[in-house]
């Protein structure tokens, strides 16, 4: 039957490409398939992602160590099944050497099995779902992350919170997996050094009116830890301030990331958060990046742009090692995981579970002028750096993996009321 024959041919061809046996490449072309939401409600984030990657490509004139990069962007519309369809199109029709991208955790979880089934490299710059490189790692041998895992910054942050003298903290986070993981990581770390999480509030994703929640925040908490995303990040600090809050506010990286920071007001000055990047990082690479990005795209880059820029750089470095010839998915992953990178977010390496090991920055919101821009703006000034943080932080990998993935009820709230 023709279907079996076609299938055999397809496998052969696919296998051939994967093993790099296709020697008739000529001026080598590296086809990178990029999946991001370019329409729909996440279109701006998708645009930032693509812009970040594209900016790096423009800087090296699409030349990755001798290979010409063909950058094909497909719209996943923030729908997981569309992401799968587009990924298959990129793999089967465009014959890309690697897949990059995916925004939401659901997209990451949708694309990962495709990479396994089609034996195609999948580089993950944004999707931070913990288990992709933890308990589910074995299912996805072709996946490698160049961004972060949700709880990665929270572990040192919990430590930092103890150092500030906070004893009791009330946590409020968006009610979905990402929220659970960021808050969970913080709780584990904070309680490990003697702190107590006395409350966990979970407003549903998309909440804009925090009226029902803010008055319930425990009066005896020393500080408030918030994990907000998108529009929630804008509204929560405003409403918190309007309710007369005097407690210090700290939070996850997305609560104050540069994607939302420009639209925030003075109520967030002094708020502290944590992430592997801040646009206010004082190093020459980052300064050049922020200036160039603003000149080209009219805004300060957020971590969505930075992580894609850095991912492009990492891919470039590996391609250079191979003189522009794509060495096949398995070899590429090995090399990508083995190399050391000097990026604009600092030094980066990859751990044995294919997640980055990198600096985690504790940053505080300040209003000032930076990088030669003549207006006062809100910036996430770095106040402390924790170097070489991996996804398990200060905890042992085996113990960590023996416990369940962070969810609504884990770690359990021992000190709640």
Partner 1 sequence: MNWNFWLIQTFNGISYGALLFLVGSGLSLIFGVMRIVNLSHGSYFLLGGYVALSVIWTTGSWLLAIPVAAIAIGAVGLVMERVFLRPLGFDPLRQVLLTVGFAFLFQQAALDLWSGNNFDINPPDVLSQSIAVGGVYLPLYRVFMIATAAAIGIALWLAMEKTRMGAAVRATVDDAEMARGVGIDTSRISMLIFALGAFLAALGGVIGGAFLGIYPGLDFEMLPLAFAVVIIGGMGSLGGAAIGALAVGLADNFGKALILAIKPTGLFGRE
Partner 2 sequence: MITSMSSHPFKILLVVVALAAIAVITPGTNSFVILLVTRALAFSILVMSVDILLGYTGLASLGQAAYLAVGAYATAILATRYHIGLGWDFWLVLLFGAALGAALAAIFGFLAIRATGVYFLMITLALGQCVWGLAYRWNSLTGGDNGINLRDRPKFGIDLANEVTFFYVVFGVFVVSLLAMYTLVRSPFGRSLAGIRERELRMKILGYNTWLHKYIAFIIAGAFGGLSGVLWAHTAGIVSPVNVELPTSVDALLMVVLGGSGTLVGGVIGSFIVFGLREYLSTLVPWWQYVLGVVYVATILYLPTGLMGIPERLRQWRARTGNRGEARKLASATP
Q: Please, which residue, 67 or 261, has the CB nearer to partner 1? A: 261
Which of 19, 25, 43, 292 is close enough to bind partner 1 by CB under 8 A? 43
Residue 403 binds partner 1, judged by CB under 8 A: no
Binding segment for partner 1 (CB under 8 A), chosen from 148-156, 211-219, 279-287, 325-333, is 211-219
> Which of partner 2, partner 1, none lies near 165, with the C-beta cut-off 5 to 8 A by kind?
none
Contact residues for 26 (Cβ-Cβ < 8 A; gap 6+): none
Q: Helices then strands (H, E): number in the chain?
A: 12, 15
Residue 16 binds partner 1, judged by CB under 8 A: no
CB of 401 to partner 1, least distance (A): 22
Q: The tokens of 308 are what? A: 């894609």
Q: What is the SS3 assignment for 170? A: strand
| C-alpha distances out from residue 58 to 50, 280, 314, 324, 396, Å | 12, 23, 15, 17, 41
> Which of partner 1, partner 2, none lies near 189, with the C-beta cut-off 5 to 8 A by kind?
none
Which of 135, 294, 397, 408 is close enough to bind partner 1 by CB under 8 A? 408
Contact residues for 110 (Cβ-Cβ < 8 A; gap 6+): 80, 81, 83, 84, 102
Q: What is the SS3 assignment for 173? A: strand
Q: What is the SS3 assignment for 245? A: coil
| Alpha-helical regions (H) of 326-392 | 329-338
Of 28, 98, 96, the closest CA to residue 64 belongs to: 28
Residue 42 binds partner 1, judged by CB under 8 A: yes
**Cα(356)–Cα(311) distance, rounded to whole angstroms?**
11
Which residues make up the interface to partner 2 (CB under 8 A)? 2-3, 6-7, 10, 38-39, 74-75, 77-82, 84-86, 88-89, 92-93, 104-106, 109-110, 112-114, 117, 129, 139, 175-177, 204-205, 407-408
Q: Please, which residue, 110 or 312, has the CB nearer to partner 2? A: 110
The site for partner 1 (CB under 8 A) is made up of 39-45, 47, 175, 201-203, 206, 208-209, 211-213, 215-216, 230-231, 233-235, 238-239, 242-244, 259-260, 262-265, 299, 408-409, 416-417
């Amino acid at each position: 039957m023709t279907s079996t024959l076609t299938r055999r041919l397809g496998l052969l061809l696919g296998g051939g490409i994967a093993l790099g046996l296709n020697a008739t490449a000529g001026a080598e072309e590296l086809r990178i398939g990029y999946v991001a939401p370019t329409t729909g409600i996440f279109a701006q984030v998708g645009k930032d992602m693509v812009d970040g990657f594209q900016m790096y490509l423009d800087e090296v004139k699409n030349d990755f160590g001798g290979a010409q990069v063909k950058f094909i962007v497909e719209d996943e519309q923030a729908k997981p099944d569309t992401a799968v369809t587009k990924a298959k199109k990129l793999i089967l029709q465009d014959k890309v050497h690697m897949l990059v991208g995916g925004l939401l955790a659901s997209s990451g979880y949708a694309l990962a099995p495709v990479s396994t089934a089609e034996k195609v490299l999948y580089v993950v710059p944004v999707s931070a779902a913990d288990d992709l490189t933890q308990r589910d790692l074995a299912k996805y041998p072709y996946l490698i992350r160049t961004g972060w895992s949700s709880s990665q910054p929270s572990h040192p942050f919990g430590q930092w919170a103890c150092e500030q003298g906070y004893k009791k903290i009330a946590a409020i986070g968006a009610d979905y997996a990402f929220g659970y993981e960021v808050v969970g990581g913080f709780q584990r770390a904070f309680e490990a050094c003697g702190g107590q999480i006395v409350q966990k509030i979970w407003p549903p994703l998309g909440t804009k009116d925090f009226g029902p929640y803010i008055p319930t925040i425990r009066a005896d908490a020393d500080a408030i830890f918030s994990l907000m995303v998108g529009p929630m990040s804008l509204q929560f600090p405003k409403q918190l301030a309007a309710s007369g809050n005097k407690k210090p506010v700290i939070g996850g990286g997305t609560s104050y990331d540069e994607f939302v920071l420009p639209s925030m007001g003075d109520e967030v000055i002094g708020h502290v958060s944590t992430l592997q990047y801040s646009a206010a990082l004082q190093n020459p690479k980052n300064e050049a990046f922020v200036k160039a990005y603003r000149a080209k795209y009219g805004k300060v880059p957020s971590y969505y742009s930075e992580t894609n820029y850095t991912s492009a750089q990492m891919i470039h470095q590996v391609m250079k090692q191979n003189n522009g010839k794509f060495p096949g998915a398995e070899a590429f992953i090995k090399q990508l995981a083995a190399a050391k990178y000097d990026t604009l977010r600092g030094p980066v390496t990859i751990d044995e579970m294919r997640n980055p090991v990198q600096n985690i920055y504790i940053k505080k919101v300040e209003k000032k002028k930076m990088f030669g821009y003549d207006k006062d703006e809100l910036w996430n000034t770095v106040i402390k750096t924790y170097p070489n943080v991996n996804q398990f932080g200060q905890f042992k990998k085996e113990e960590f993996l023996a416990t369940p993935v962070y969810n609504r009820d884990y770690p359990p709230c021992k000190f709640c009321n």
